[in-house]
Homo-oligomer: A and B are copies of this chain.
Amino acid sequence: MKPGTTSAACAALLRRDLALIWRRRGDALNPLLFAVIVVALFPFALGPEAQVLERIAAGTIFVAVLLASLLSLDNLFRSDLDDGSLEQLVLSPHPLSLLLACKIAVHWLTTALPLIAIAPLLSVFLHLPDTVLPVLLGTLALATPLLSLIGAICVALTAGMRRSGMLLTLIVLPLIVPVLIFGAGACNAAQAGLPYGAPLLWLGAWLTLALVLAPLATAAALKISLT
């Protein structure tokens, strides 16, 4: 009678979460579709003029990606909570923060990465200049993991409630506004021909910090909201 190793537990968790997402791969596409749809709504709402769309392109794409990954965050612990798996995770002998880091990684890989991959298409819809596209992709690559990590803390805080839904958005919002300002700001600067290195560096620094601290904070928040 001996418990398994922590790495075995993490591997089991990764394998299970990926298997679950594969089983519901239709659902996994949802954030992607949502972002596409939000972006596609704007031309209808604003009219088809290219100059207007071009001006708002980077910002709108950023907002759409952000909303899509926030809305999908809600499911991060939801189903585990509903069927009692989360209790089992908390009761397991392994460090909870590590297990949660695995879950966050799976979330980023399966929602944010496809969003980044589809960003070029979105930028075509809104006539984003080709020169700005690399900057957009770079900022998204830095900003989305930051969103997943920060979001996870907030989801953990609201995990005790059923249907936290949009309250989550409210809690996350103040935390991610800086990410939005720096991310979209870098793109807008690039579009206007201004230097855009500084905001990217800031994002990188925050990301490093969040990678270390967010899983610990998430574990603490989860323990608070479960007992």
**B180/A47 in contact, CB under 8 A:** no
A40 within 8 A of B: yes
In the complex, what distance in Å separates the CA atom of A107 from the CA atom of B56?
A: 32
- Encoded as 1 (CB less than 8 Å from any B CB) or 0, chain A from 157 to 187 comes to 0000001011101100100010011001100
**Chain B residues in 8 Å Cβ range of A163:** 24, 27, 75
Q: In the docked arrangement, what's the CA distance between A163 and B41, Å?
A: 23
Counted per complex, copies of this chain come to: 2
Q: How far is the CA of A40 from the CA of B166 in the complex (A)?
A: 15
Contacts of A169 in B (CB 8 A): 30, 33-34, 37
> How many A residues are at the interface, by size bracket?
35 or more
Main secondary structure of the interface of A (DSSP, over half): helix
Determine the residue in chain B with the shortest Cβ distance to A61.
B45
Contact among B37, B56, B181 for A44, CB-based, below 8 A: B181
A30 touches B181 (CB 8 A): no
Chain B residues with CB below 8 A from A62, complex form: 45
Contact, CB under 8 Å: A170 / B66: no
Q: Which residues of B contact A177 (CB under 8 A)?
A: 41, 44
Within 8 A of B (CB), among A9-58: 24, 26-27, 30-31, 33-34, 37-38, 40-42, 44-47, 52, 55-56, 58
Tell me whether B180 and A44 are in contact (CB under 8 A): yes
Q: Per a CB cutoff under 8 Å, which of B26, B59, B71, B180 touches A71?
A: B71
* Contact in complex: B44, A184 (CB < 8 Å): yes
List 24 A-B residue pairs with CB atoms under 8 Å apart, sorted by A's residue number.
A24-B163, A30-B165, A33-B167, A33-B169, A33-B170, A37-B169, A40-B173, A41-B63, A41-B66, A41-B67, A41-B177, A41-B180, A42-B60, A42-B63, A44-B177, A44-B180, A45-B58, A45-B60, A45-B63, A46-B55, A47-B59, A47-B188, A71-B165, A75-B163
